[in-house]
Amino acid sequence: MDPKRSRSAPLVQPIYQSTTFVLDDESYADLLENDGLDAVWYTRVRNPTVDATGAEIARLEGADAAVMTSSGMGAISTLMLTLCRAGDRVVAARELYGDSYELFARYLPRLGVEVDFVAAAELDQWQETLERAPVRVVYAEALSNPQLVLADIPGLAALAHASGAVLAIDNTFASPRLLQPLSLGADVVVHSATKFLNGHSDVVAGVIAGSSALVKECRRSIMTFGSCLDPHAAYLVLRSLKTFGVRIDRQMASAAAIARWLEESPEVVRVIHPTLDSYAGADVARRLLPPGEGGGIVSFVVAGGDERAARLMRALELPTEATSLGGVETLISAPFNSSHYLMAAEERAAIGIEPGMLRLSVGLEEPSELLADLGRALAKTATAAARH
């Protein structure tokens, strides 16, 4: 028996489902000297269950610390509002999740923050844009949603730091199993923990991971904004992290096999996955990703446009047509009516979302069964397309 562990110590992290905690001398001292950011006295600020979950994600990301939020967008908006002031400038990848794009394109400018968008994979564009004027934050997704553009994080880090900017990376799609942005030069990482980190489609959560100083600043913002995570939700994320590596390894292996199979289908116009030789960022993938691994998402474009894509989703039996991703069950969605529905067709086209694009989040089902189902649905919708 480990002498450091008490015989009565719980094996599973308890849920501290308490709003408030006893104020003692230590708590009062922390309130007076540190804004109450270190002591456990009110769950909107700190909670033992929530803190334990953040600590585990910090370990996975190789971060000094991490703080949980009520959603992935809660993490992103909290981070940006913590870092930016009126008059600041942000340079962001144009290939972003739809609501992230809305935050950068619509809401930050209302607060006096200038935002420039550049193509994620074009380092020359990043450099040119960064050199134009001072920059506070450089922001990109490690793997973009849903185009799966792989950010050259070391290249972005060099450019950002030369400009005196903070490099923030959304690592939701890649997950720390595939990529650890902090080890590649990023300053801070955000996640929708709803996705691969939780992986069971039963929690909405987010996380900010980075240096202790920056995380403490974000914790102060959460205290005011109220974007804290509920203890029970934190407990469920922590439960899921126990199987994180096993789940992600299975999902990544299945996704790579499905991507190869889809690429051989005459009904599929284009397949996007970092393990494919046809992947546009193959050189970056070879440098940054483990051989043969590219994440658990496959994006592909079917012949026939969005109308065919919609019919294909309905023809499938195993994958469920639903938003979100990263769960143990396979989900499929079309960006035009889910993740990027707020964008006009022209805006989607400008960031590489083609008509007929589908996003497949591969779960834990048998790959052979998923392939058989995809084959049936492609054949069924092809027949229907021919009749029309």
pLDDT exceeds 80 at position 16: yes
Length of the chain: 388
Q: Is the pLDDT of residue 131 over 50?
A: yes
For the cut 80, the answer to whether the pLDDT of residue 269 exceeds it is yes
Q: At a CB cut-off of 8 Å and minimum separation 6, what does 160 contact?
A: 130, 135, 138, 166, 167, 187
Instruction: Please choose, from the candidates 198, 191, 185, 110, the residue with its C-alpha nearest in 3D space to the C-alpha of residue 155.
Output: 185
* pLDDT tops 90 at residue 162: yes
Compute the distance between CA of residue 204 and CA of residue 224 in angstroms, rounded to an integer: 20
Active site residues: 44, 97, 170, 195
- Report all structural domains of the chain as residue ranges with CATH numbers, in order of start: 25-241 (3.40.640.10), 244-387 (3.90.1150.10)
pLDDT of residue 383: 56
Please report, for residues 150, 176, 225, 270, the alpha-carbon distance to residue 280 in angstroms, rounded to integers and kept in the order given.
9, 22, 40, 11
> Would you place residue 1 in the very low, low, confident or very high pLDDT band (cuts 50, 70, 90)?
very low
How many Cα atoms are found within 13 Å in the side-chain-facing hemisphere of 126?
27
> Which pLDDT band holds residue 339 (cuts at 50, 70, 90)?
low
Global pTM reads: 0.94
Interhelix angle 48-61/231-241, nearest 10 degrees: 40
pLDDT confidence of residue 338: 64
Q: Look at residue 386 and tell me whether its pLDDT is greater than 50.
A: no
- Exposure class string for 76-90: b at 16+ Cβ within 10 A, else e: bbbbbbbbbeeebbb
Least confident of 240-254, 329-343, 357-371: 329-343
Residue 4 has pLDDT above 80, yes or no: no
Report the share of the chain in percent with pLDDT over 90.
87
Res 6: pLDDT: 66
Give residue 245's pLDDT.
Answer: 97
